Structure 1
Amino acid sequence: MSADPDARIVEPRTEPHVEPSAEPSAEARGSRRKRLDLEPDTVERDLVKLVLTVVELLRQLMERQALRRFDEGDLTEEQEERVGLTLMLLEDRMAELRDRYGLRPEDLNLDLGPLGPLLPRE
């Protein structure tokens, strides 16, 4: 093997060392806020929160539909009683589940960014 006089030895390039700061940047904090935070200790509560949010959305939609039907006179008195009782029982059961998992009604409302909250404020 002969040495090539034009060959140069190239040192490996290294990136400058940057010390990690103790405080994360605003960008890092913002991206963390948007991530789903799954902690093994809270996964059951978080799942219950998600399920209760969906149930609450459906309960409110059913309540509005029932009120519309009441106003239009589409229901018999017996049907009105049954629907009213069912909605009251569902609301009571939702309150029990929220209490069991330490949730408030406003905890079930998701912020949809520019669209606003998922659930209307009652």
Structure 2
Amino acid sequence: MTVTMEAPCRRITADPETVERDLSRLVLTIIELVRQLVERQCVRRMEEGSLTDEQIETLGVTLMRLEEAMADLCERFDLTPEDLNLDLGPLGTLLPTT
């Protein structure tokens, strides 16, 4: 999918051959962003001591399964984790690099 600037409006030109992959990339990017935010929130709460041992275990297992599901979906759509890290121009990339 490409965005072309034409005065006075913007137009999106979707390539029928890649539209499924492009849409999948966008959706998986949003899911990955939310997954990382939830993971950070869980770590913060764990460090604060506001979670029980059972809650920590449940969250750990849930986050591991979600990470595995994301890897499976990326493989299905032939995407790498780097493909999900959208470049926002002067703002940098969407996802933090570790």
Structure 1 Cα separation of the partners of residues 70 and 89 of structure 2 = 26
Partner of 1:65: 41
Structure 1 residues 100 and 41 mapped into 2: Cα distance closer, same or farther (>3 Å)? same
Corresponding residue for 2:29? 53
The letter of the residue matching 1:107 is D
Q: Which amino acid aligns with 1:56?
A: E
Q: Is 1:88 matched with 2:69?
A: no
Residue of structure 2 equivalent to 1:99: 75
Unaligned runs of 5+ in 2: 6-10
TM-score for both structures, normalised by structure 1 = 0.70
Structure 2 distance, partners of 1:75, 1:68, is 10
Larger radius of gyration: 1
Partner Cα distance (1:89, 1:37) in 2 = 36
1:114 aligns with 2:87: no
| CA positional deviation for 1:38 | 1.3
Query: CA deviation digits over 1:58-117, x for unaligned, max 9?
Result: 000000000001101100011000111111000000000000111000000111111100
Identical-residue share of aligned pairs (%): 61
Aligned residues: 91
**Alignment partner, residue 15 of structure 1:** none
Is 2:18 aligned against 1:42? yes
Report the structure, 1 or 2, having the larger helix content: 2
In structure 1, the gaps of 5 or more residues are 1-30
For the aligned residues, what is the CA RMSD?
A: 1.7
Pick the structure with more strand per residue: 2
